[in-house]
Amino acid sequence: MANGKFEKAAFAGGCFWCMVKPFKEWEGIEDVVSGYMGGHVVNPTYEDVKKGDSGHLEVVEITFDPALFTYEKLLELYWQQIDPTDAGGQFHDRGHSYTTAIFYYNENQKNAAEHSKEELANSGKFSKPIVTDIRPAETFYWAEEYHQDYYEKEQAHYEKDRAKSGRDEFIKEHWK
């Protein structure tokens, strides 16, 4: 910990299983937790979220030291994990709970997120509009324990699910 001051960031990028590993092993990232944000049900379960009854999105909440890993670097890494033009979900995971969003915890994060979205939109990388929402952070609910670090706990299932999702092919094609 460089300055002793951690911040939080929260990103929805489809299935939270696929959103943990890309952030987990960088210096300055203290923790990455799978959970739910943005809905109307208190203490939603995975089944509530998956059925679409709660209004929540699957998110990862990242605790980071901005002196070692800036919020802008988190945003850059985030965009490289998703299809920001897909309003119906991500890859083979469809529905509201799998849509993309950046949840900001303060005005600096909001401004940085809006700037990065505008830069991406103007980059010409995508021919369709960038539809990822930028929203104020709400109550974060931890997902059930079996979802935490799923890529490590259930490696074979994680790799099989990710392989059939189309996420890796999309990332390779758009972010090389």
CA distances from 124 to 42, 128, 129 (A): 40, 9, 10
The set of residues, in sequence order, having a beta carbon less than 8 Å from that of 52 and lying 6+ positions away, is: 95, 96, 97
The pLDDT tens digits along the chain (176 residues) read: 455 699 999 999 999 999 999 999 899 999 999 999 999 999 999 999 999 889 999 999 999 999 999 999 999 999 999 999 999 999 999 999 999 999 999 999 999 999 999 999 999 999 999 999 999 999 999 999 999 999 999 999 999 999 999 999 999 999 87
The pLDDT score that the predictor gives to residue 25 is 87
Domain ranges of the chain: 7-175
In angstroms, rounded to a whole number, what is the distance separating the alpha carbons of residues 33 and 35?
6
The pLDDT score that the predictor gives to residue 4 is 64
In angstroms, rounded to a whole number, what is the distance separating the alpha carbons of residues 17 and 154?
10
Is residue 18 part of the annotated active site? The answer reads: no
Among the listed residues 9, 10, 15, 130, the single catalytic one is 15
7-175 has which fold? Answer: Peptide Methionine Sulfoxide Reductase; Chain A (3.30.1060)
